[in-house]
Amino acid sequence: MKEAKSIWMDGELVPWFEAKVHILTHTLHYGNGVFEGTRAYKTDRGMAIFRLKEHTKRLLNSAKIVAIQTPFTQEVLEQAQIELLRDNHFTSNAYIRPLIYLGYGVMGVYHKQAPVKVAIAAWEWGAYLGDEGLEKGIAIKTSSYTRNSARSHFGKAKAIGNYLNSQMAKFEAIECGYQEALLLDDCGMVAEGSGECFFIVRDGEIITPPHDSSLESITQNSVITLARDLGFKVIERNITRDEVYIADEAFFTGTAAEITPISRLDSRIIGNGGRGEITKTLQESFFDIVYGRNSKYSHWLTYID
């Protein structure tokens, strides 16, 4: 991670190395907290945050789901992210990580007496799955871990505790020589990656799973909107693992992953084994949007300069 100048904590900007918490911070022990991942891009007009309002709203929705009452409004949190980017003077694309967590004060599983704390960090960060992956695609593995079931976890919350599942799936995939994991739900249908939404292309149609056991992704929504605007048919339905093997194209989407092609699943080559034509079209169109080169989607950008 590339260090930055400051981090926003409970209404104040503090130096990066002074942004500390107590070892008995409640979230550290019991896993209840929520976070967001938001990107800011260096455009010709200056730094711009992609879909700031939607990401901040999802952060607050996540907190509501896990019964945490946030002490700051959406407007305050949006302004805090803008203020943080201005203070850090980033020279390239940045990743923003808002975090709502339970601080020091009580122990035990019951959490409502723990103080609610909010922090926002940002740092310069390139392609999550690598620049080469954006062009040539990545190899992924069907995980032996099942995506958290809706019967036992809140899939619509970007909750800290949910990500142990993702962490173990990612660890397994890398240890087995792959770059990312693909998780199935408890019915055996494709859910998502360890931190990405999933798409396939078959016969010119773009297909993505429903949100039965996964997060309501803002980048996924952006790609669906973009694809339909470009004239593609987009279908939201269940996908089986063997359907992925015979797909023409496949790709991940997410704030960190952006649009990353998938070249192989479980040692089966997907399509031509690289970035497919539809994936390339969506990828190029997406980057035109986030870099401010398509005025039709300018409402998705919040310029900070």
Q: CA separation (Å) from 19 to 12, 31, 63, 95, 105?
A: 10, 19, 21, 17, 18
- CB neighbours of 174 closer than 8 A, spacing ≥ 6? none
Nearest to 34 by CA among 56, 6, 7: 56
The Cα–Cα gap between 236 and 215 comes to 14
Phi, psi of 70 (to 5 degrees): -80, 135
158 is catalytic: yes
161/147 Cα distance (integer angstroms): 13
**C-alpha pair distances (Å), 198 with each of 180, 204, 282:** 12, 16, 14
Any idea what the Cα angle at residue 189 is, between residues 188 and 191, rounded to 5°? 120
SS3 per residue for 80-148: HHHHHHHHHCCCCCEEEEEEEEECCCCCCCCCCCCCEEEEEEEEECCCCCCHHHHHHCEEEEEEEEECC
From 156, 158, 170, 296, the catalytic residue: 158
Q: What's the gap between Cα 178 and its chain centre?
A: 20
Task: Point out the residues that are catalytic.
Answer: 158
